[in-house]
Amino acid sequence: MPRQKKRTETVRMNLEISIPTQERIGRLQETTGARSMVEVVSWALATYEKLVSLEAEGNEVLIRNFKSNKESGLILTPM
């Protein structure tokens, strides 16, 4: 007998966002192949949560340009 997929309990939220923000989410959906805008937001939240967690543990989040080998820090939370 096939195992049933566990469904996470959900809530409906109505968010008022600007048109440019909606367009950005749409572009990310196309770029990443996400199934929906909700999936884009979920991935973004998971990524941001992980980066903030790493920063809280004393790590510095860096972005490295592989062509120039220059690094720059990424500020995740307001000081």
Which pLDDT belongs to residue 33? 97
The answer to whether residue 39 is domain-embedded is yes
Cα–Cα distance, 59 to 52 (Å, whole number): 9
Query: Whole-model pTM?
Result: 0.75
Contact in structure between 36 and 29 (CB atoms under 8 Å)? yes
Contact in structure between 28 and 20 (CB atoms under 8 Å)? no
Which pLDDT belongs to residue 14? 94
The answer to whether residue 43 is domain-embedded is yes
Strands (E), the chain: 62-64, 71-73
Domain range for 42 is 19-73
Which pLDDT belongs to residue 78? 73
Count of domains for the chain: 1
Which pLDDT belongs to residue 4? 67
The answer to whether residue 45 is domain-embedded is yes
For residue 77, give both structure tokens: 């939370």
| CA-to-CA separations, 9 to 37, 39, 44, in angstroms, rounded | 18, 15, 20
Those residues of the chain that have pLDDT short of 70 are 1-5, 79
